[in-house]
Structure 1
Amino acid sequence: MLDLNDIAIFVQVVRCGSFAEAARRLGMPSNTVSRRLQQLEAQLGARLLQRSTRKLTLTSAGRDFHERCAGAVDGLIEAGQALAAGGQQPSGLVRVAATADFFDFFPMQWVAQFLAAHPLVRLDFVLSDEKADLIADQIDVAIRGGPLPDSGYVGRQLFGARSGGLVASPAYIAARGAPGTLQALTQHDCVTSAPPSGRISWRLTGPDGVVEQVQVSGRFSGNTAQALRKAALAGLGIALLPPAVALRDIQAGLLVPVLPQYQHTRHGLSVVYPSRRHLPLAVSAFIALVTEKMSSGWLS
């Protein structure tokens, strides 16, 4: 029969990424942690972790076992904490992975309100345009755009595909004029994600539903939506931006739509987490916050 303590030790080792850190948190010697893991692997008849001098890596069997048991271990720990505290209250650390510009469209005020409502919860945001490995990077919740691959994670769509469009600053339009056709963009400076020395193709859907393509270029490029937005605000050219990025500037008159009859459809946004079972209350509460705020249509 498997020892639940050994399983809990395994989950802690995965989250800490090392035997030494797991041993410190568990208050036991490192060699004891290593021995207990070897004992668990022997009982399961499978190798759970690949050990090297630099890091620990989950095997395929280890990843599957972790996904199945981590939630249960958290549930047991949470139940004990709740009983000791005399009630059910979200607590503990929640690690959130999101894009580098996440806080440009997710107001920090929402985070402040959440933390005020849950004083025992701590939030750690890992912001990067690279997709995090939820298990290896010890991520509780990820906010991701685009289609959800069949990764074994649980995904919940916050909103579906949205149409973005072309924008420019009033100063740029005053200086260069507004293009009258899609192909006229070839005569304009466009801020793009391609190097300034190269061209990039924009595919947009016209008013008749037909997708058209145009090659554009410019003297400024960037690899984030916010870099392109700021370049457009500075009058460096015409940009193709998601609605969430451009909406407030358009409403404030800092950007104006260009060829509004053409739209570019982008994938929606989803919240992703490793397991549906036995989510810690703090994680469930944060997922509820993101779902409420970002599914309410405020970005439309």
Structure 2
Amino acid sequence: MLDLNDVALFVHVVRYGSFAQAARLLGMPANTLSRRVQQLEDQVGTRLLQRSTRKLTLTQAGQAFHDRCSSAVEGLMEAGQQLISGSQEPSGTVRVAAMADFFDFFPMQWVADFLATHPKVRLDFVLSDARCDLIAERIDIAFRGGILQDSGYVGRQLLEARHDQMVASPAYLDRRGMPVTLEALAEHDAVSFTQPGHLTTWRLKGPGSAEHDVRIASRFTGNTAQALRKATLAGLGITLLPITIVAPDLHAGRLVPVLPDYYRTGYGLHVLYPSRQHLPLAVSAFIELIMERLGRQGFTARD
């Protein structure tokens, strides 16, 4: 029969990425921890971890074993912590991976509100456009845009694939006029992502889902959505951006829609987490916050 204590120690080692780090947090010698995991490997009859001087890597069998048992171990730990504390209050550190410009559309005030509501929770954000390994990097929650690849993680759609909308500032439209046809866009300036040459091509869908290729001269180009948004707010031209990025400006009147019957299909947003069951209360609470705040703006995916 497996020693469940050894299984729990194995889960901790995977979560913290090394025997040394896990041993420090568990308050036990690293060599003892290593011996207990080796004892577990002897019991199951296969190697679970590949060890090197630099890092630990799960074997295929180790990954499968971890996927099956980690949620149960976390659930038992959470239950024990709740019994000890006598409350259902979320606590602990939630490590969050997100795209580099995450806080350009996710207001920091939402984070402040969440931390004020849950004073025992700490948020640790890792912002990068590179895709992370949730287990190796000890990530509790990861946000990913675009098409969700089959990664073995648990995925939940937060935002449906929404339309990219053409928008411009009122000042620009007062100066240059509101285009009323796609052909009229040729007389305007574009604010767009960098492309070869000075012409930008937008493939738009219109009434009846007919597709149209529109070419418009770019007076300003950049490589981030926020650079384009700020240039458009400054009156430099018409841009085509995800509705989630420009929605606050549309609501405030800082930007207005241009030819709203024409759009480009964008991508959705997903949240990923390693375990299928027994999410820590702090993780569940943070996901609920996101769903609630996005829901207020009408952007959450339909169940």
CA contact (8 A) 1:47 1:61 kept: yes
Per-residue CA shift, 1:224-267, capped at 9, x if unaligned?
32122112223333211111211222333332322322111223
The equivalent of 1:26 in structure 2 is 26
From the superposition, tell whether residues 12 and 210 of structure 1 become closer, same or farther in structure 2 (CA, over 3 Å): same
For residue 219 of structure 1, report the CA deviation from its aligned partner. 5.0
The equivalent of 1:167 in structure 2 is 167
What aligned pairs does 1:49-68 form with structure 2 within 5 A after superposition? 49-68=49-68
Per-residue CA shift, 1:135-159, capped at 9, x if unaligned?
2221112223233332222222223
TM-score by length of 2: 0.86
For residue 297 of structure 1, report the CA deviation from its aligned partner. 4.3
From the superposition, tell whether residues 19 and 171 of structure 1 become closer, same or farther in structure 2 (CA, over 3 Å): same
From the superposition, tell whether residues 192 and 60 of structure 1 become closer, same or farther in structure 2 (CA, over 3 Å): farther
Residues 64-73 or 142-151, more deviating: 142-151
CA contact (8 A) 1:190 1:217 kept: yes
Secondary structure at 1:109's aligned position in 2? helix
Secondary structure at 1:226's aligned position in 2? helix
Per-residue CA shift, 1:191-239, capped at 9, x if unaligned?
3333465765422111232012234563543333212211222333321
The equivalent of 1:88 in structure 2 is 88
| In 1, Cα distance between equivalents of 2:24 and 2:197 | 53
The equivalent of 1:205 in structure 2 is 205
Amino acid at match of 2:96: V
From the superposition, tell whether residues 299 and 88 of structure 1 become closer, same or farther in structure 2 (CA, over 3 Å): closer
What aligned pairs does 1:278-293 form with structure 2 within 5 A after superposition? 278-293=278-293
Per-residue CA shift, 1:93-147, capped at 9, x if unaligned?
1112222232333333332332222222211122223333222221112223233
Residues 198-207 or 1-10, more deviating: 198-207
CA contact (8 A) 2:191 2:220 kept: yes
For residue 17 of structure 1, report the CA deviation from its aligned partner. 1.6
From the superposition, tell whether residues 183 and 59 of structure 1 become closer, same or farther in structure 2 (CA, over 3 Å): farther
Per-residue CA shift, 1:27-64, capped at 9, x if unaligned?
22222222222222232233322333322222222222
From the superposition, tell whether residues 91 and 14 of structure 1 become closer, same or farther in structure 2 (CA, over 3 Å): same
CA contact (8 A) 2:155 2:273 kept: yes
TM-score by length of 1: 0.87
For residue 286 of structure 1, report the CA deviation from its aligned partner. 1.6
The equivalent of 1:44 in structure 2 is 44
From the superposition, tell whether residues 296 and 169 of structure 1 become closer, same or farther in structure 2 (CA, over 3 Å): closer
Secondary structure at 2:212's aligned position in 1? strand
| In 2, Cα distance between equivalents of 1:41 and 1:199 | 61
CA contact (8 A) 1:189 1:236 kept: yes
CA contact (8 A) 1:243 1:299 kept: no
The equivalent of 2:14 in structure 1 is 14
| In 1, Cα distance between equivalents of 2:130 and 2:186 | 31
Secondary structure at 1:124's aligned position in 2? strand
| In 2, Cα distance between equivalents of 1:270 and 1:69 | 24
CA contact (8 A) 1:99 1:127 kept: yes
Residues 152-161 or 183-192, more deviating: 183-192
- When the two chains are superposed, the root-mean-square deviation of aligned CA atoms in Å is 2.6
The equivalent of 1:134 in structure 2 is 134
Secondary structure at 1:135's aligned position in 2? coil
| In 1, Cα distance between equivalents of 2:33 and 2:198 | 54
| In 2, Cα distance between equivalents of 1:50 and 1:201 | 49
The equivalent of 1:253 in structure 2 is 253
Residues 16-25 or 54-63, more deviating: 54-63
| In 1, Cα distance between equivalents of 2:173 and 2:40 | 67
CA contact (8 A) 2:200 2:218 kept: no
What aligned pairs does 1:95-114 form with structure 2 within 5 A after superposition? 95-114=95-114
CA contact (8 A) 1:158 1:295 kept: no
From the superposition, tell whether residues 83 and 109 of structure 1 become closer, same or farther in structure 2 (CA, over 3 Å): same
The equivalent of 2:144 in structure 1 is 144
In structure 2, the gaps of 5 or more residues are none
